Amino acid sequence: MPRRTIQIAMNGVTGRMGRNQHLIRSILALQKEGGLQLKDGTWLYPEPVLIGRDQIRIQELASELKIARWTTDLATALADPNTEIYFDAQITSERAGAVKAAIEAGKHIYCEKPVADNLAAALELAELATARGVKNGVVQDKLFLPGLRKLQRLVSSGFFGRILSVRAEFGYWVFDGYLLPSQRPSWNYRSEDGGGIILDMFCHWRYVLESLFGPVQSVMALGTTHIPARADEQGRSYEASADDAAYAIFELEKGIVAQINSSWCVRVYRDELFSLQVDGTQGSAVAGLRQCKVQPRVCTPLAVWNPDLPDSHDFYSDWSEVPDNQVFDNAFKTQWELFLRHVFEGGPFPHSLLDGAKGVQLAEAGTQSWRERRWIDLPELTLQSEK
């Protein structure tokens, strides 16, 4: 079978997410499989070109992974006519400018979220990509996790009947860097660098809620900075100027109410770092990153409130595990494959830069709600070219 090499400029892959999920477990994993076979039988073989601001780090990464090409010069990488796709997993504050330059260079765009640190910049990218005619996509990885894919099956099958509510807990304890090193980059806790859990996680919650349950119509949120001072990668103290926890209620279409707590300041007492419960008239489900459990209406136990006596009933035993019934590949790799097919076969890819902008819209609305202490409605977001 014929093989076609596709050169991908990958910016920001010295960070944990870019290195592990996108470079090693997606692009290099595809290389080990011989590439991605297209419908016409061609094997699409991805060849990464690493881009980074720190020459030592990017050179060390390229040497470790035996990647031939790397550079610290974004302009040079974008000027290469052999580069067809630009991928961005940089610090949030650097993303919009780099993605804009890549669009203007005629590259297809695939990037992490948030696509920008403000809605105006996010919409500008979506408009520019449409005008330039480049294919574009935004990482929406949680939709490709086993737990949420099982949950999607339940929704599609009508298992819940009429969905009433959604409630989710996300997060874990991020060390402040004093007693133990932090397991997240320090810029995540500085608003001037694009940090903040509302900007980070509300971009996720927008696509999760809308893909599974329906459009988000309004939001009421409370953000806070629980840990006001942290230590950075060099052990130096700094002011944590960004929110590290957010507590929000979202109104969805058809009367569905969603409540989501997001926190880097919570110690985990649940099966997984993310847990989402859906309650409907015909049944309920609890989904995590990999697992999904259900309790149909006919198996719902009789719960009686009586605080004067110990409750001997094991409520956990009333839930049944949803079987895998299929092999689930890495969520990031699965979405990479969809995007590559979108670029080279023209297949559908619903997670565009406009969808990325919708995530930023929700984050801005959540922040506005927090500051003004009120509900904020979300108007429909469309491109000027589509009006």
**pLDDT for the residue numbered 387:** 59
The residue behind tokens 């997001």 is 262
Residue 96 in contact with residue 119, Cβ under 8 Å? no
Q: What is the pLDDT of residues 317-354, one digit of tens each?
A: 999 999 998 999 999 999 999 999 999 999 889 999 99
- The type of residue at 374 is R
Give the model's pLDDT for residue 384: 79
What's the rounded Cα separation, in Å, for the pair 287 and 285?
6
The β-bridge partners of 170 are: 262, 274
Closest by Cα among 93, 89, 111, 119 to 366: 119
* 239 closest CA partner among 230, 226, 248, 251: 230
Rounded to 10 degrees, what is the CA torsion of 204, 209, 212, 214? -140
Q: Which of 105, 128, 106 is nearest to 115 (CA)?
A: 128
Q: How far apart are CA 206 and CA 221, in angstroms?
A: 14
pLDDT at position 194: 87
Q: Please give the DSSP secondary-structure letter assigned to residue 245.
A: E
E strands present in the chain? 3-11, 36-37, 43-51, 70-71, 83-88, 108-111, 136-138, 163-171, 216-224, 229-231, 237-239, 245-252, 257-263, 274-280, 283-287, 292-296, 320-321, 376-377
Half-sphere exposure of 178 (CA within 13 A, CB side): 7
Q: Where are the alpha helices (DSSP H) in 66-179?
A: 74-79, 92-104, 119-132, 146-157
Phi, psi of 317 (to 5 degrees): -70, -10
Largest CA distance in the chain: 74
Q: Tell me, what's the pLDDT at 348?
A: 86
User: pTM of the entire structure?
Assistant: 0.94
pLDDT at res. 240: 97
What is d(CA 155, CA 308) in angstroms, rounded to the nearest whole number?
38
Domains and CATH numbers, the chain: 3-140+330-351 (3.40.50.720), 142-321 (3.30.360.10)
* Separation between Cα atoms, residue 234 and residue 248, nearest integer Å: 34
CA nearest neighbour of 138 among 78, 189, 206, 194: 206
> What pLDDT is recorded for position 386?
67
The stretches of the chain forming alpha helices (DSSP H) are 16, 29-32, 55-65, 74-79, 92-104, 119-132, 146-157, 197-212, 331-345, 353-372
Residue 324 CA to residue 301 CA, distance in Å, equals 26
**Phi, psi angle pair for 84, to nearest 5°:** -105, -25
Residue numbers of the chain with a pLDDT score lower than 50: none
